[in-house]
């Protein structure tokens, strides 16, 4: 019977002006509870001054309590132990070795992701087809501190005169099922982007989930109206082709971002995948312990040929 609390004995305890018996009801039958003084004045000598010796008229004596042998407690003279005052030299405690200062990674120049122009039709259905997403993929494998996570995702980014197109293929591990709840702490992808036309423009944060839903967040400072505008015309779809892996596709209109596209244009940008089973935040560009959407240490998306 593993886990059954057998053999416990609770006896000769004093409980006054408090709740003594907090033992689980099912545990009582396996133990012994006896000779405890509860809800009765134990008649301490002077509890206000922390003198908890029992007076001669204490009802505890009848339950088998015995006086505490105060005269036998504490240091006493014996060849095998130090007796006060201690006359031998106390050994000094060695100072612990100094911990090496943690070196903060240097941001350096922002990485640049060159997005090629879309040349074939793309159906935003959450299924990444080779004929739609030909060409090299971009690897997402940085943690917040820019160290490799060991569980990378792949992304493809394309653009045309109207929109930005993104596909993300994410192995997430099988330690837990892929979650479908629309919550950023669970399985999700994030696209963070900021219109560079004006310094005060907010960071747009779009988050998509395996169930095929997405939201436009105000977490990075956008107003509710700005977040709503950023979601206008956005298309998102996701699929789970096999356990432990999911895919998604985005179409993000430049108009919803207030952006005028053009070859060579560079846009502050980042992508993150939250992998719930592995408890990882997997990014294209690690933000050096800032929020995943914080483009201060993010990268740049270049609209290339």
Domains of the chain: 9-72 (no CATH), 112-303 (2.60.40.1190)
What is the pLDDT, as a whole number, of residue 79? 75
What is the pLDDT, as a whole number, of residue 217? 95
What is the pLDDT, as a whole number, of residue 1? 65
For 11, list phi and psi in degrees, rounded to 5: -150, 160
CA pair distance 153, 80, nearest whole angstrom: 66
Q: In order along the chain (305 residues), what is the average pLDDT of each group of 10 residues?
A: 79 84 70 89 93 93 89 74 68 80 71 95 97 93 95 98 98 94 96 91 96 96 94 98 97 96 94 96 92 93 93
What is the pLDDT, as a whole number, of residue 89? 72
HSE-up (13 A, CA, CB side) for residue 139: 9
């Amino acid at each position: 019977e593993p886990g059954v609390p057998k053999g416990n004995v609770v006896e000769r305890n004093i409980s006054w002006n408090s709740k003594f018996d907090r033992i689980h009801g099912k545990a009582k039958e396996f133990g012994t509870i006896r000779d405890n003084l509860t809800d009765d004045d134990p008649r301490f000598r002077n509890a206000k001054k922390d003198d908890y010796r029992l007076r001669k008229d204490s009802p505890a004596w009848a339950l088998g309590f015995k006086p505490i042998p105060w005269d036998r407690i504490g240091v006493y003279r014996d060849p095998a132990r130090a007796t006060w005052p201690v006359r031998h030299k106390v050994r000094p405690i060695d100072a612990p070795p100094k911990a090496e200062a943690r070196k903060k990674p240097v941001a350096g120049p922002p990485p640049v992701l060159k997005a090629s122009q879309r040349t074939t039709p793309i159906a935003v259905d959450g299924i990444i087809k080779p004929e739609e997403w030909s060409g090299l993929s971009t690897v997402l494998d940085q943690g917040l501190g820019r160290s490799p996570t060991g569980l990378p995702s792949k992304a493809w980014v394309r653009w045309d005169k109207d929109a930005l197109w993104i596909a993300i293929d994410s192995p997430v591990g099988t330690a837990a099922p892929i979650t479908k709840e629309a919550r950023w702490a669970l399985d999700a992808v994030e696209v963070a982007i900021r219109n560079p036309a004006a310094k005060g423009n907010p960071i747009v944060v779009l988050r998509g989930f395996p169930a095929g839903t997405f939201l436009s967040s105000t977490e990075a400072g956008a107003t509710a109206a700005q977040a709503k505008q950023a979601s206008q015309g956005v298309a998102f779809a996701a699929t789970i082709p096999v356990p432990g892996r999911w895919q998604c596709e985005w179409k993000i209109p430049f108009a919803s971002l207030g952006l005028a596209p053009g070859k060579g244009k560079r846009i502050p940008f980042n992508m993150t995948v939250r992998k719930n089973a592995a408890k990882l935040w997997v990014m294209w560009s690690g933000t050096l312990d800032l929020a995943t959407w914080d483009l201060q240490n993010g990268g740049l998306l270049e609209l290339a040929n």
